[in-house]
Amino acid sequence: MQLREPTNDLMSIAETLMIMLDARATKTQHSDLVLSNRKAVEIVEHLEKV
């Protein structure tokens, strides 16, 4: 399988996913939720260090 160069469509999808990931992490960190997303927090913290 050959990998293709990212297109604008793929870049906008990736950007949308990052927005959702950040929103989930923020909500988990600042709310008393029954369900939390600690993995989102972990990923966002790692990306902030890079």
pLDDT tens across 5-15, in order? 656 666 777 88
pLDDT of residue 9: 66
Does residue 2 form part of some domain? no
Does residue 39 form part of some domain? yes
Q: Report in angstroms the alpha-carbon separations of 42 from 14, 16, 26.
A: 18, 18, 11
Does the pLDDT value for residue 38 go beyond 80?
Answer: yes
Range of the domain at 45: 11-49
Indicate the SS3 state at residue 20: helix
Q: How many separate domains does the chain show?
A: 1
The pTM of the full predicted model, rounded to 2 decimals, is 0.68
Mean pLDDT of 30-35: 80
